[in-house]
Amino acid sequence: MSSNPQNIKIAVDAVVFGYQKSKLYVLLIQQKFGSQNTYWALPGGLVKEDEALIEAVKRELKEETNVSVNYLEQLYTFGDDISRDPRNRVVSVAYFALVDSSKLTLIANTDADNVSWVEVDKIPNLAFDHNEIIQIAIKRLKDKLTYQPIGFDLLPNKFLFSHLENLYTTIIGKEIDRRNFRKKMMSFGFIRETEEYATKKTGRPAKLYAFDIAEYKRLEKEGIYFEIKLV
């Protein structure tokens, strides 16, 4: 057995997706690394000795961006490239989250000089391997949308059905048969039509819909088969 001391640091990074006006965004921070130039990067940082991974990523998000999320899913572990961080040997456990970005107030703090929502197709060259992390997160998001109704996490509590349709076409990048999509989605039983209408200056006002998470959880226990196929 090797007696060489191990000096590997463990970090966490968060890919937080938001959705506004038919565009998908990711949350980025601007950070200055010592005497180096300022870079855009994912929120994240080193895990404390007495801290669980999930608590570390929640803490870093809150400290650097003022964002709190209810749901974080572990994405992947990045560490095969031993020089991914020029300062130390760092293994990063990446998480991703979906939020209604319209409800959040961003505040840059601790070692973040700035924080912003950036469109996924306008992401600059980021620090470390964070561009690769985001691409893997986008692929996970696209895949999961077709077999789990996670898209509702990106929408307000009450939404136009057209906004749900646009969300799917935006993220997956394919057109949908809107009539069949609506029929399929409504057939699951976890979307309810509310008695409220969206305010429109012209034309007939459209009804708002809501995702019934309690009903979805009940159906999930019964073994609901959720699948959305796009054209």
Same domain, 137 and 161: no
* Assigned domain for 140 exists: yes
Residue 1 lies in a domain: no
What is the tally of structural domains in the chain? 2
pTM of the model: 0.90
160 and 125 in a single domain? The answer is no
Per-residue pLDDT reduced to its tens digit, 71-130: 899 999 987 777 667 677 788 999 999 999 988 999 888 778 899 999 999 999 998 899
Domain check: are 122 and 60 in the same one? yes
Q: How many CB atoms lie within 10 A of CB 132?
A: 15
Same domain, 133 and 175: no
Q: Is 156 part of any domain?
A: yes
In tens, the pLDDT along 137-188 reads 999 999 999 899 999 999 999 999 999 999 999 999 888 888 899 999 999 9
Last-in-domain residue among 111, 145, 179: 145
- Any domain includes 71: yes
Determine, yes or no, domain membership for 231: no
CATH number where 191 lies: 1.10.10.10
Q: Are residues 207 and 104 in the same domain?
A: no
Alpha-carbon distance of 10 to 49, in angstroms, equals 10
Its domain, for residue 200, covers 150-221
